[in-house]
Amino acid sequence: MKLIIMRHGQASWSAPSDKERSLTEQGVREVSNTVALLAGQRVDFIFASPYLRAQQTGRIAAEAFGLTVETLDELEPDGNPAKVLDALPDSGVVLLASHMPIVGYLTGLLCDGTPKVGPSFQTGMALILEMDILAPRMGRVIERFIP
């Protein structure tokens, strides 16, 4: 199984709430550049946080891969990485569009077994993790894409 963990692109601070922050023009470029770098990958599923900027990120990826975006509430910024794992399919190639700190926490859980420690992701960045089974300490980072 492969898991592509992607942070949304740069987002505007001008919005009525954090959930409604949208991608800036630079954020759209960051996401588009990363998705172009991912073009050689097969992707079977795309899940995104319900926040607008992650939904926009997921839609850019979905358009490129000919898929639809499924919303996964567990991908909110302060979500629980173990609950994310429980909600995902256990095979295929899955792309997640989400936020810091959950993208770092999820990577930490999968690679080191530490759910509250993980790498920092810059906006638009993606990591590809490969694992035999979707479980803590089973993942290894095989590629990094920075816009």
| CA separation for the pair 30, 35 (Å, rounded) | 9
- CA distances to 60, 70, 97, 101, 139 from 57, in Å: 5, 12, 6, 17, 24
Q: What residue numbers bound the domain in which 128 lies?
A: 2-145
**Res. 103: pLDDT tops 90:** yes
Mean pLDDT along residues 17-26: 98
Mean pLDDT along residues 101-105: 97
We report the CATH number of the domain holding residue 77 as 3.40.50.1240
- Partners of 47 in the β-ladder: 70, 96
**Res. 111: pLDDT tops 90:** yes
pLDDT digits (tens, 9 = 90+) for 22-54: 999 999 999 999 999 999 999 999 999 999 999
- CA distances to 64, 98, 108, 124, 134 from 113, in Å: 32, 20, 6, 24, 12
Question: Cα–chain-centroid distance for residue 48?
Answer: 7
pTM, entire model: 0.96
Determine the pLDDT at residue 114: 85
Determine the pLDDT at residue 6: 98
Cα Rg, the chain, nearest whole Å: 14
| Total domain count, the chain | 1
Structure tokens at 83: 């609950």
